[in-house]
Structure 1
């Protein structure tokens, strides 16, 4: 019988040790300084969210997945944020998805939901604070998940497009004393 970690390395398991380590570190950091975390908020220069919280019905497929299988949307957003914005290597059932599902069974899914919302806010310099993240993740979990996924997808594609633009050297440069090759 193969060891559990051997199958994870072969890609057969949805559990990723790196994700477990990152979530453990984030939970421990929050538990070490709960007062700081609760008082945290975005700087005054933060931007508004591009996607409204209540525009969660569009696109309808994302809305349906988020309502029926919120853990899948949660894991997808996590993958976009922390692994690959284009979802290379993404599996619908992954560590974050399973963790979200487990916390939902305990009735505390809003905690990792709020933590991920805070990460989205921090990464893309969006407005908000911890109390709002907690309240929205508790009261409007599906809409919050849809908003986060749309925001991360949009912002990540903008970053990807900027990176894909190649540097083009300005034309028409010549050295002193050398004839120009730009025409008559």
Structure 2
């Protein structure tokens, strides 16, 4: 006769963090997809401002992108911020290395990063407004 411990089936649950969207799922948010395809400097600026927690501005990062685009070096900037995003949330290197992803298809990579931040409660299109679970800030009471 079998004991209860022999009839137990084990289910392994992975606690390993994963990307919320796949690499080629850029069309999930059509607005972000269109902006990224036409003006990738805007999407990059939004992502950079959010990852830098407001220490750099969307405008500054967008201008830096535009300057680097003139010498075909803008993918290096993207690579640095994708690496920063992965380190911050412990995300895996998928589907290949960060440098390769941005060099081959920067629009898909930017859309994936934008969606990841949004999934984690940080909406890059709104700019840096603080941590997502920080208590709301109320204005001081007015006295006469």
TM-score higher than 0.5 here?
yes
Q: How does 1:22-171 map to 2 (within 5 A)?
A: 46-84=16-54, 94-128=59-93, 132-157=97-122, 160-161=132-133, 163-164=134-135
Q: 1:82 to 1:96 in 2, by over 3 A?
A: same
1:124 Cα deviation after fit: 0.8
Q: Which runs of 5+ in 2 are unaligned?
A: 1-14, 123-130, 137-144
Which structure dedicates a bigger proportion of its chain to helix? 1
> Aligned residues, how many?
114
2-structure distance, mates of 1:126, 1:117: 10
Match of 1:26 in 2: none
Q: Taking structure 2 as the reference length, what is the TM-score of the superposition?
A: 0.69
Q: Deviations over 1:68-123 (max 9, x none)?
A: 00000000011111235xxxxx975x111111111111111110111000000011
Shift of 1:156: 3.5
TM-score by length of 1: 0.55
